Every structure is written in structure tokens, then in C-alpha cells.
């Protein structure tokens, strides 16, 4: 009996506020439920079928996919390069803390800071670009650059977190491997590809999977920085879901269908990434 | 003879360290800019070229967002709300996760592999997926715009990760002390509260910080679950503060943003090692 008593409070919390909503969402996605309407009917897969014609959903999905793909390389590489540099030099822990600090901020605080920094007229970023001879731009109001500004903001925000993860991973690689490789005449570049990358593979997998799951839920940065604009240029799936359920039409059924499509995409990606990256871990 | 190359390597190391320090300073400039802006009188804020030293300095923006009676500037109240929500979440998560992780690490019983697999699998559930049904549930409970309506779902979200983190730690603890206590007649609850929990303080602290950070910074759930302004937590209040002021009055907005960073800055300075340890455990064993 004892183990079950220990487990009971936590599992109750988890079942009621995590598992039940997940399954309830699947059920709602098959109905025409709306906010504030007591009764509703089952409509089969109609909500899913309607998503196929919802152009705004397609645009949002495309934007989210673009963001995910375009941000993965910088999110993977920037902290890794920093970690490699920090791992060799002095003041490792001080520098690690400095880079980590932005990650302690909320997405709203980060968004407000960058909004002000990128202000087209009085923001310092454009001012310094102008002094370098680059014309000022409304980075967040230009469909060409808005998503890139959001990517830059995100990279700045999360780099410190992945830096800590990478540094821990680098610590676990035995020093003598590098020494042996150096004796065999391998340069820094070669030992990076033959020792660091293979031994860091589980960490790289963790970073990619975590980032991709997070990317598909992009919302806060967009809410603060662009509101989804200009036009629909930075509208994301979660934002569209939020608006469908709580802003314009209060369609809980349709929003739940979006949620499950999102969930399915995240699951497929996670499994694919595990397959792709884990397959090479054994050597 | 050997000093030549070594000295050159030392010089390279020093150059690298200096370059990294410069990069770190550059990296933190957005935050510096927030603080600098928040201390300037309104008429100096939009001046070009940008002035990095806020002189003359003023605390008027802080006073406005903290104490003004205007409907928009309720950062003081939001700050207290966020504290209640974050501390409540920490208490609930640490307690339930520790209790659940203990038998999963230390006892043999039917279903423990299944329970653990479900918990770990749930780490893949995007928060956005449960948004609508969670709202329906909280509404039915009458918990909209209440502290429990924010604390309980927040705790449920962090619970699985907490179990995962603590179980990892409990597995590595030597069993002798627990055995000795049991021989002395202690029951399972006494062993747990008097032996296991005191020995686990570092990892409990790491989980507490993690839970505090996610609850303090969460945005999407409170945006939906709260519709009374006096119950807004900081991120929501800040996001709406931005809409309330004209674009050029960055002063109050930046004061609010700077205030929102303070609690975690304090935690961060005091317990830096715990944070790093927590990230490390969560990252590598994930």
C-alpha cells in the first residue's frame, strides 16, 4: 500500500490537470463546442476537414515551420561555439553566468527589451547601423525581416540555457581522448568532428528535440513583438489557436482540432529526430 | 626552451578570455539598455545618439508603475500576484514530486515502470495542446482569475519533470541510512521526511528554482485563465502595460520589465550553482 499512498497526491494532480485535458481535447475536437454555450453536438472529423480549407491555419503552420527550420541551426551552433570557447579559457563560470542571465527573463520582458532596441526611429540598434552606413529599417514591420528578428530574439534568450547543457556535456568527454588524437597528429578541426561531435551526440539530440518542441509552440515573442504581423507574416499555430478559441470566434472544437494536429506534428518530429540522431550513437 | 610555445598559448588564452568577456558585455547590452532607459526622465529617453549613462537619473517610472492608482500601472500588485503564484507552485511541485519520486526510485511495486513511462512520455506534450480543455476544466471548477487556477495547472505541468529529476537523484543515494532508520523502527513516512528529504536538499533546491522560473515567467496560461486585472501576474500585466502606453513612453514599460527580472536575478546570484546543476541534470539525462 505504501508506495501507492506516496504516489497518490502527485498522480491525482497529474491525471486531473495534465492527462485528462489532453484526452478531453481530443473529444472536444470532434464537437462544435463554443465558449459559453452549454450544449454541443458531435460533428465527427468536420473540424479537421475544415482545417484543410483554413488558409490562415496554413499560413500559420508555414510560418511556424519556417521559424523552426531557420532557428534550429543558430540555436544549435551559437551555444556550441560559445561552449567550445568557454571550455578552454579562464573565467569559465563567470562567463557562463553572464550568458545564462537572459534565460532567467520572461518572454514578455525579453520581447519588450527587443521591441525598444529595434525601434525604427529612436532605437539604438538602427542608430548604430546608420552610423555604419546601413539604412534604418522597421525590422518588425517588414515581412522580409520580421520573422528573422523574432529568431534573433529567441537565440539571444535561450543561448545561455543550451550553453550550460553543452558545457556539462563537454566536461564528460575524457581529456585523454584529445591528447591521444593530438599525438596521432589530428588538428583541432579533426578532433572536433571525430571526438567532440560523436560524443556530444546525446546532448545535440536533446538540444534539437527540446528546441523543436518549443518552436512549434512559438507564441510569446510574436505576441509582444509583432502581434502576428505585418499582415500574417509572423502568425503562428499557437497564436491562431489562441485567437480561434479565446479572441474572435470562441470555437473550442476547431481550436482543439488545431491542438491535436500540432501535437501529432510534434510527436512525429520527435520520433524522427530520435531515430535519425540516435541511430548513430553506438560506435 | 619549452617556455616559448607555452607563453604563446597563455597569450592566446588571455586574448580568448578578453574577447569572450567583450562578447558577454555586448550580449547583455539589451538588458543594460532596459535598466538605463527606466532611469531616464521621459524627455531624455528618445534622444539620439543613445545615451548609455542615465544622467540625470530618476525613479519616477518605478514610482508610477508601483504606486500609481491608475488602472494601467498595476505592476506592484502584479508583482505580488506573481510571487504568490510562483511560491505556491514551488511548494506544490516539490512536495508532490518528491513524494512520487521516492517510491519510484526506492520501492518495488506493480505498475511502477508504467507510471514512470507515462510521466516521461508526458514531457513531450506541448502546453498549447491542453490549453482549451484546461480552460474548460478550470472554468467548471470556478477557478478562473484565482490563485489556485494558476498554481495547480502550473504545478501539474512541472510535476513530471520534477519526478524525473528527483528520481534520478534518489537512485544514486546510498541506502544504509534508510536501512538503519528502518531497523530503529521508523516507518516509511518517517524515513522519507527525516532521512531522504534532508539528504536531498541540493536537488530539491534545483527543482524549486526550476519551478519558480517557469511559474514566474509563464505567459500563455495566465493570459487565458485570468480576466480580472487585479489578478494578473507580471508577464500579462507587462504585456498589457505596453498596449496601455503610447509607443514613445518607454519609461514605465522598461521600469516594469526591469522589476520583473529582480527575483530571478537574486535567486541566480545566491544559488548560481544549483541552477547550473539543475540544467545539467535535466539536459543530460533527458
CA-based nearest distance B69→chain A, Å: 23
Long-range contacts of A274-280, Cβ-Cβ distance < 8 Å, separation of 24 or more: A274/A205, A274/A209, A277/A201, A277/A204, A277/A205, A277/A208, A278/A205, A280/A198, A280/A201
Contact A109 B213 (CB under 8 A): no
Count of structural domains, chain B: 2
Q: Which residue of chain B is at minimal alpha-carbon distance from A13? A: B156
A281 touches chain B (CB under 8 A): no
Co-location of B192 and B257 in the same domain: yes
Q: Which residue of chain A is at minimal alpha-carbon distance from B11? A: A89
pLDDT in tens, B86-138: 999 999 999 999 999 999 998 899 999 999 999 988 988 888 899 999 999 99
Q: Could you give all domains of chain A from N- to C-terminal order, each with its CATH number? A: 48-278 (1.10.3720.10)
Q: What is the pLDDT of residue A123?
A: 86
B164 touches chain A (CB under 8 A): no
Residue B252 · residue B245 · CB < 8 Å: yes
CA–CA distance from A144 to each of A138, A234, A237, A239 (Å)? 10, 10, 19, 20
What does chain A come to in residues? 283
Residue A236 · residue A67 · CB < 8 Å: yes
Co-location of B13 and B115 in the same domain: no
Q: What is the 3-state secondary structure (H, E, C) of B87-138?
A: HHHHHHHHHHHHHHHHHHHHCCCCCHHHHHHHHHHHCCCCHHHHHHHHHHHH
Local mean pLDDT, 10-residue blocks, chain A (283 residues): 91 96 93 83 89 91 95 95 87 89 93 90 87 86 92 96 90 85 82 86 87 92 89 92 88 92 90 72 41
| CATH number, domain with residue B126 | 1.10.3720.10
Co-location of B198 and B268 in the same domain: yes
Lowest pLDDT segment from A212-221, A251-260, B16-25, B71-80: B71-80
Give chain A positions within 8 Å (CB) of B213.
104
Out of B39, B58, B77, a domain closes at: B58
Asked if the model's pLDDT at residue B71 lies above 80, the reply is no
- Which residues pair with residue A42 across a beta bridge? A31
DSSP assignment of chain B, as one string? -THHHHHHHHHHHHHHHHHHHHHHHHHHHHHHHHHHHHTS-HHHHT-SSPPSS--S---HHHHHHHH--SSS--HHHHHHHHHHHHHHHHHHHHHHHHHHHHHHHH---TTHHHHHHHHHHHTTS-GGGGHHHHHHHHHHTT-TTSHHHHHHHHHHHHHHHHHHHHHHHHHHS-SHHHHHHHHTT--HHHIIIIIIHHHTHHHHHHHHHHHHHHHHH--HHHHHH--SGGG--HHHHHHHHHHHS-TT-HHHHHHHHHHHHHHHHHHHHHSHHHHHHHHHHHHH--
Q: What is the pLDDT of residue B174?
A: 84
Co-location of B45 and B98 in the same domain: no
Q: Which residue of chain A is at minimal alpha-carbon distance from B129? A: A259
Q: What are phi and psi of A34, to 5 degrees?
A: -135, 155
Question: Pick from B170, B160, B221: which is nearest to B195 by CA?
Answer: B170
Co-location of B174 and B214 in the same domain: yes
Q: What's chain A's Rg over C-alpha atoms?
A: 23
Co-location of B129 and B71 in the same domain: yes
Co-location of B71 and B47 in the same domain: no
Q: What is the pLDDT of residue A98?
A: 92
Contact A164 B280 (CB under 8 A): yes
Contact A7 B100 (CB under 8 A): yes
**Which single residue is written with the C-alpha cell 513516512?**
B189
Co-location of B172 and B47 in the same domain: no
A180 touches chain B (CB under 8 A): no
Co-location of B14 and B126 in the same domain: no
Give the angle A227-A263-B227 at the CA atoms, nearest 5°. 45
Co-location of B183 and B211 in the same domain: yes
Give the angle B9-B27-A173 at the CA atoms, nearest 5°. 50
Q: What is the pLDDT of residue B231?
A: 93
Co-location of B84 and B218 in the same domain: yes
Out of B12, B32, B58, a domain closes at: B58
Distance between alpha carbon A110 and the CA centroid of its chain, in Å? 15
Among partner residues A25, A95, A127, which is closest to B129 by beta-carbon distance?
A25
Q: What is the pLDDT of residue A283?
A: 36
More confident residue, B69 or B67: B67
CA-based nearest distance A98→chain B, Å: 6
Residue A184 · residue A142 · CB < 8 Å: no
Give chain B positions within 8 Å (CB) of A219.
128, 219-220
Q: What is the pLDDT of residue A169?
A: 87
Domain of residue B44 covers 3-58
Co-location of B176 and B277 in the same domain: yes
Asked if the model's pLDDT at residue B265 lies above 70, the reply is yes
pLDDT in tens, B194-226: 989 999 988 999 899 989 999 999 999 999 999
Amino acid at each position: 500500500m505504501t508506495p501507492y499512498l506516496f504516489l497518490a497526491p502527485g498522480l491525482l494532480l497529474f491525471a486531473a490537470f495534465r492527462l485528462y485535458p489532453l484526452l478531453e481535447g481530443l473529444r472536444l475536437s470532434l464537437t462544435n463546442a463554443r465558449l459559453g454555450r452549454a450544449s454541443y453536438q458531435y460533428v465527427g472529423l468536420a473540424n479537421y476537414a475544415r482545417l484543410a480549407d483554413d488558409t490562415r491555419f496554413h499560413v500559420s503552420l508555414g510560418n511556424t515551420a519556417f521559424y523552426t527550420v531557420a532557428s534550429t541551426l543558430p540555436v544549435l551552433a551559437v551555444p556550441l561555439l560559445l561552449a567550445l570557447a568557454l571550455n578552454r579559457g579562464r573565467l569559465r563560470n563567470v562567463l557562463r553566468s553572464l550568458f545564462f542571465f537572459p534565460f532567467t527573463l520572461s518572454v514578455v520582458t525579453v520581447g519588450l527589451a527587443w521591441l525598444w532596441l529595434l525601434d525604427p526611429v529612436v532605437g539604438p540598434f538602427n542608430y548604430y547601423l546608420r552610423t555604419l552606413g546601413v539604412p534604418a529599417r522597421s525590422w518588425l514591420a517588414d515581412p522580409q525581416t520580421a520573422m528573422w528578428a523574432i529568431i534573433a530574439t529567441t537565440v539571444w534568450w535561450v543561448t545561455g540555457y543550451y550553453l550550460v547543457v553543452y558545457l556539462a556535456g563537454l566536461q564528460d568527454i575524457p581529456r585523454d581522448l584529445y591528447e591521444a588524437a593530438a599525438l596521432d597528429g589530428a588538428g583541432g578541426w579533426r578532433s572536433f568532428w571525430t571526438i567532440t561531435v560523436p560524443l556530444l551526440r546525446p546532448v545535440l539530440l536533446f538540444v534539437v528535440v527540446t528546441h523543436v518542441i518549443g518552436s512549434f509552440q512559438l507564441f510569446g515573442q510574436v505576441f509582444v513583438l509583432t502581434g502576428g504581423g505585418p499582415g500574417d507574416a509572423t502568425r503562428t499555430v499557437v497564436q491562431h489557436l489562441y485567437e480561434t478559441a479565446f479572441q474572435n470566434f470562441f470555437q473550442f472544437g476547431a481550436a482543439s482540432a488545431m491542438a491535436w494536429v500540432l501535437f501529432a506534428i510534434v510527436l512525429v518530429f520527435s520520433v524522427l529526430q530520435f531515430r535519425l540522431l540516435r541511430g548513430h550513437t553506438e560506435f | 626552451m619549452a617556455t616559448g610555445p607555452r607563453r604563446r598559448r597563455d597569450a592566446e588564452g588571455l586574448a580568448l578570455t578578453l574577447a569572450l568577456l567583450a562578447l558577454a558585455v555586448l550580449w547583455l547590452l539589451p538588458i543594460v539598455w532596459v535598466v538605463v532607459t527606466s532611469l531616464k526622465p521621459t524627455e531624455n529617453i528618445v534622444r539620439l545618439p543613445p545615451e548609455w549613462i542615465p544622467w540625470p537619473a530618476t525613479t519616477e517610472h518605478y514610482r508610477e508603475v508601483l504606486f500609481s492608482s491608475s488602472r494601467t500601472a498595476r505592476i506592484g500588485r502584479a508583482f505580488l500576484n506573481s510571487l504568490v503564484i510562483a511560491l505556491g507552485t514551488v511548494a506544490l511541485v516539490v512536495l508532490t514530486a518528491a513524494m512520487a519520486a521516492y517510491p519510484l526510485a526506492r520501492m518495488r511495486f506493480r505498475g511502477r515502470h508504467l507510471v514512470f513511462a507515462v510521466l516521461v512520455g508526458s514531457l513531450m506534450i506541448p502546453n498549447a495542446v491542453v490549453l482549451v480543455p484546461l480552460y474548460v476544466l478550470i472554468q467548471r471548477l470556478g477557478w478562473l482569475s484565482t490563485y489556485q487556477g494558476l498554481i495547480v495547472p502550473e504545478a501539474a505541468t512541472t510535476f513530471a519533470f520534477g519526478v524525473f529529476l528527483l528520481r534520478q537523484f534518489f537512485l544514486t543515494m546510498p541506502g544504509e541510512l534508510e536501512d538503519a532508520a528502518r531497523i530503529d523502527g521508523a516507518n516509511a513516512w518517517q524515513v522519507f521526511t527525516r532521512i531522504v528529504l534532508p539528504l536531498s536538499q541540493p536537488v530539491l533546491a534545483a527543482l524549486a528554482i526550476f519551478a519558480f522560473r517557469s511559474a514566474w515567467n509563464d505567459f500563455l496560461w495566465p493570459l487565458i485563465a485570468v480576466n480580472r486585472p487585479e489578478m494578473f501576474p507580471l508577464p500579462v500585466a507587462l504585456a498589457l502595460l505596453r498596449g496601455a502606453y503610447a509607443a514613445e513612453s518607454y519609461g514605465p514599460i522598461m521600469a516594469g520589465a526591469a522589476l520583473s527580472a529582480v527575483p530571478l536575478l537574486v535567486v541566480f546570484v545566491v544559488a548560481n550553482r544549483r541552477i547550473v546543476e539543475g540544467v545539467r541534470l535535466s539536459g543530460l539525462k533527458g
